[in-house]
Each structure stands twice: as C-alpha cells, then as structure tokens.
C-alpha cells in the first residue's frame, strides 16, 4: 500500500533562525505519524537546505530543494546541481512549480530536462502541473494539463517514472485561498492517471503518487484525500505554520 505523502513548499520564506525553529516544531509535532502513516517532506530555500537537513536528520521527514539546474557542474553562475542537492542530504526536488513556469518563464522542455536530470542525479522529482484561471474558464484544463504531462515526462522510461511524484496544482488555487473542490481535483487527477497509464501501463500508473496543491489547509486536507486519485498534498502557505502543517499531516495519516 502506498503511503500518503505531504510535502511543504516554503518558497522564498524563512530566515536562518526561523527555518530551524519551523523544522524543529514540525518534527516534534508530527513525530508519531511522520514516516509511519504518512511520508513527509519539506522544501526550504536553497541557502537553508543544509541547516534544515541537519535538524531533520534524526526525524523521518525528508528534505527537498525547490529547483535544480540541468548540468552537473561547471560555468553556470548562480545555479545549483542535482549532485549538490543530493550531497547535502536532500532526497526530493520540485520541478516545474507554477511560479517557475509563470513567473520565471520555464518551458515544458526545460522542465523535462530538470525532471530527467533529477532522476539521473539520484533525486526524486515532484513534478508540478496545473492550468491557469483563463485556461479553466475556456474549458482548456484537460488540454493544458495533458500537454504539461506529455511534454514534461517526454522520453522518460518506465523504469525512471517510478522515481516521480506528480503534483496537480491549479494556478488559480495557489496562494489565493481558493481551493479546488475535491471533485474538481479528482477529475484532473483521474485524467493524469489515465494519461500515465497510456504512457507507462496501468500498474506503473497506479503506483505513481499524484498530490494535490493549491490552498490546502487543515480544514480541507481530509476531504481532498478522500478522493480516489489524490495520494497526497503539496502545501505552500500552510506549511510555514508548524501547527497547520502538523494538523494537515495528521489529517492525512
């Protein structure tokens, strides 16, 4: 049985003190369930990864980066490689988060390279997809999400796909307080599962965790998780408050 998975995306938040106190509070609050009934990961900013990884080394909480570069080393000023992320004790990395797609301007092609680089570097990518509000309103959700899945996972073998976690995050629900209803989320999760089955076969597709993200809170975590194809949650704002994040972890466990 696949365990539910809750990942926290801290985005560009915390500082050298609050990253440590937040990690400590999450670890102590979730001690009884993290790693047992539920897999948990947090994704702090690059500069605090090592401090957070150190604090969490004695816990069952994994650490992930929020991005990576597609080369392993060399003259790429400002970039961070999969090897470096792995070297400091991280296991996960977010790829194609909506803010990287829409604020920074990452393409499907670049995101595909990042997913592949992450896997080849021994990391577990959390590959994010999701439509914008105007795309949903124009009934283009399936087309947009299908394109992101096909292009983002292009050329990835059936063997490598087992390292991937997919996260469906409708852009209109991220940081807005507007959550997709469990039915709206399930509809897209089922579509993603179907596409994965076409690409990799039914059994591998069943095993790929598909997380929902977008204004997840302690109050809506359990109802989202009750849907068949929602296997976990990717949490932004609420992962910065230890009490809320722990309540979400417990609601899912």
Q: How far is the CB of 217 from ligand PGA (least distance, A)?
A: 8
- The single residue of 99, 169, 189, 227 carrying the catalytic annotation is 169
Q: How far is the CB of 41 from ligand PGA (least distance, A)?
A: 12
Q: Is-catalytic flag, 97? A: yes
34 binds ligand PGA per the rule CB under 6 A: no
Which residue, judged by CB position, is nearest to ligand PGA in the bound state?
Answer: 236
- The single residue of 97, 106, 135, 227 carrying the catalytic annotation is 97
Q: Is-catalytic flag, 102? A: no
Which residues in the 169-228 window bind ligand PGA by CB under 6 A? 169, 174-175, 213-216
Sign of the alpha-carbon dihedral angle for 173, 4, 129, 193: negative
The whole-angstrom separation of Cα 168 and Cα 152 is: 13
Q: How far is the CB of 35 from ligand PGA (least distance, A)?
A: 22
Active site amino acids: 97, 169
Which residues here bind ligand PGA, judged by CB under 6 A? 9, 169, 174-175, 213-216, 234-238
């Amino acid at each position: 049985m696949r365990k539910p998975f809750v990942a926290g995306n801290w985005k560009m938040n915390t500082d050298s003190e609050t990253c440590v106190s937040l990690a400590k509070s999450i670890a102590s609050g979730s001690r009884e369930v993290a790693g047992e009934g539920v897999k948990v990961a947090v994704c702090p900013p690059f500069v605090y990864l090592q401090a957070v990884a150190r604090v969490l080394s004695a816990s069952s909480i994994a650490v992930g980066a929020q991005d990576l570069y597609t080369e392993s080393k060399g003259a790429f000023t400002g970039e961070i490689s999969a090897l470096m992320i792995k070297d400091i004790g991280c296991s996960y990395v977010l790829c194609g988060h909506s803010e990287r797609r829409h604020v920074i301007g990452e393409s499907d092609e670049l995101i595909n390279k990042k997913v592949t680089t992450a896997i080849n570097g021994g990391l577990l990518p959390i590959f994010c997809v999701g439509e914008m509000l105007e795309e949903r309103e124009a009934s283009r959700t399936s087309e947009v999400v299908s394109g992101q899945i096909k292009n983002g996972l292009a050329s990835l073998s059936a063997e490598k796909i087992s390292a991937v976690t997919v996260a469906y995050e409708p852009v209109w629900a991220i940081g807005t307080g507007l959550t997709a209803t469990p039915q709206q989320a399930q509809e897209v999760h089922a579509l993603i599962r179907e596409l994965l089955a076409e690409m990799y076969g039914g059994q591998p597709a069943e095993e790929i965790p598909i997380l929902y993200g977008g204004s997840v809170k302690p109050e809506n975590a359990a109802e989202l998780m009750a849907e068949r194809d929602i296997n976990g949650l990717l949490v932004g704002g609420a992962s910065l408050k230890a009490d809320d994040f722990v309540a979400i972890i417990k609601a899912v466990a």
